[in-house]
Amino acid sequence: MQDITAVILAAGEGKRMKSKNSKLIQKICGKTLIEWVYKAVTEAGVKDCIVVVGHRADQVRECMGDKAQYALQDERRGTGHALMAASKYFMGKGGNLVVLSGDTPLITPETIRYAVKCHIENGCPATVITAEIDDPSGYGRIIRDKEGYVARIVEQSDASSDERLIKEINSGIYCFAVRDLIEALSKVRDANSQSEYYLTDVIGILSCEGKKIGAVKVRSSEEIAGINDRVQLYQASRVMQRKIAFEHMKAGVTIIDPDGAYIDDGVRIGADTVIYPGTFIEGETVIGEDCVIGPNSRIAGSVIGNGVAVDNSIILESTVGEGTRVGPFAYIRPGSSIGKGVRIGDFVEVKKSVIGDGTKASHLAYIGDAEVGRNVNIGCGTVFVNYDGIGKYRTSVGDNAFIGSNSNLVAPVAVGENGYIAAGSTITDNVPDNALAIARERQVVKEGWVIRKGRQRKGKD
């Protein structure tokens, strides 16, 4: 959209969130509240964005980076005062301004786009996005004139008993013609019960000057819900989570229980994949087609190939090749690359390792800082010993090697192709290709030792 600037108000303290952090950086579905608002603005076609910061301004700036310009509101004296602080960025400009609160993450690009369209087509100096709700407590009420235009907005604390019965409420989202806004802002005063400069007073000022104030009513009041505490954060999260889940389902993904799977915005999932309850898929994760994920699994920042099964397991910042099975109760830590057709089984942990195609670690193993080739068998109880108390070291295992159960590979060490490690061995030296390595005490049997030492164990009755 041409000549449209957005101002996101993000200076409030948010005391009801009971947090040492800015409430604007609280997350739902992988994005902070203010990032959701910014996403809606940019997807609506608005290019320029100003963020008004105050409480924990450093956190908001760190979150948003160079996506926006910043205006500092030193004293928090109301929404009108916040816009005054940002006015240096749009003073002297023409065009229109969209003003939003940074704590309304459910606002959609479609609503913003439609409101701006109506605002421009109707030639109004201001347009307010409104909603009608059963319990309007705490919201500013929309007072309309005889022609149906907005006459003024009265805050809850300043509303009369009759005005408090009105169910149409102010969303806190506006479109303004910049020149009209600047002129009206100069006339706003703090003569109210809170001694604050209300942005809503701009509406009354413009209306008193005989100008027509438009209104766009949203279909669902969920869109304009502000987030003030942890309960509202949860409620918004559930709305957004369902929306994300339904989008995936419409694209061919089976989600057994949309209320029981937690999928971040931006996750990509291929068709015919099944997501079981208790599954968390986070960050910029990509999951292929025909996978089975869950139940009770977490995948974050990872790329999962087609036909992969992940059962009761965790995969973090790693890649998993097609046809691989992970779990149950496996843990793939950051920096790992798992090949195609691999088996990472029960209680197997992989850390910063490359596992070749067709390799199997079926149960009870730790594979850390390793390069493991193709078609390797890693026996139960195998430990890649990568840490000597000071440094981490790597182990390499060639293609088609066999690592017997209960073996220790003490890094740095290499096992060649087709190498064979006898069960129970602790390997500290390199093993050549096609060699058998046995590193354990020779078994000694002492006949009658238990009787001589009186060590017989007596069974219980």
d(CA 200, CA 335): 52
- For 156, half-sphere exposure in the C-beta direction (CA atoms, 13 angstrom radius) is 9
> Are 377 and 360 in contact, with CB atoms under 8 Å apart?
yes
> Are 201 and 112 in contact, with CB atoms under 8 Å apart?
no
d(CA 85, CA 88): 7
Query: What single string gives the DSSP state of each residue in 35-98?
Result: HHHHHHHHHTT--EEEEEEBTBHHHHHHHHGGGSEEEE-SS---HHHHHHHHGGGTTT--SEEE
160: left (phi over 0), alpha (psi -120 to 50) or beta: beta
In the annotation, is 363 catalytic? yes
**Dihedral sign for Cα atoms in the order 225, 227, 232, 233:** positive
Q: Which residue has the tokens 């766009």?
A: 216
d(CA 243, CA 122): 32
Choice among 55, 81, 248, 363 that is catalytic: 363
Write down the H helix ranges in 192-269. 200-208, 230-250
Catalytic residue numbers? 363
